[in-house]
Amino acid sequence: DTGVSQDPRHKITKRGQNVTFRCDPISEHNRLYWYRQTLGQGPEFLTYFQNEAQLEKSRLLSDRFSAERPKGSFSTLEIQRTEQGDSAMYLCASILGGTDTQYFGPGTRLTVL
């Protein structure tokens, strides 16, 4: 399968713990996006990478959130000191620059108890 993959698919954690999610984009795609989707809402933009550079961050991305894309390949999203409000589906999408379609992964569902 050459689509976008995300790991883990589900994560349950206790409030205050740190969690890290991974996204593997389609191999030739140089641009990568993270979105967050809460229940009953559409996905909301979190952050954007072009190759290894993080070029845009949403105001939704508090100081507890950090994202990386070392070497412009896979990306990680870390949430420190999780809160119940962080419970959501975290979606990753990749796209080849100059094209128009973002391809989404299956998402990581985070539940903070």
Partner 1 sequence: AQSVTQLDSQVPVFEEAPVELRCNYSSSVSVYLFWYVQYPNQGLQLLLKYLSGSTLVESINGFEAEFNKSQTSFHLRKPSVHISDTAEYFCAVRPMNTGFQKLVFGTGTRLLVSP
CB proximity list for 27: less than 8 A, separation 6 or greater: 2
3-class secondary-structure state, position 86: helix
CB nearer to partner 1: pick between 56 and 78: 56
Binding track, positions 6-45, relative to partner 1; x by CB under 8 A: x------------------------x-x-x----xxxxxx
Please give the structure tokens belonging to residue 88: 């959501």
* Binding of residue 104 to partner 1 (CB under 8 A): yes
Instruction: State how far the Cα of 74 lies from the Cα of 6, in Å rounded to an integer.
Output: 10
Contacting residues toward partner 1, per CB under 8 A: 4, 6, 31, 33, 35, 40-45, 48, 50, 55-56, 91, 93, 95, 97, 100-107
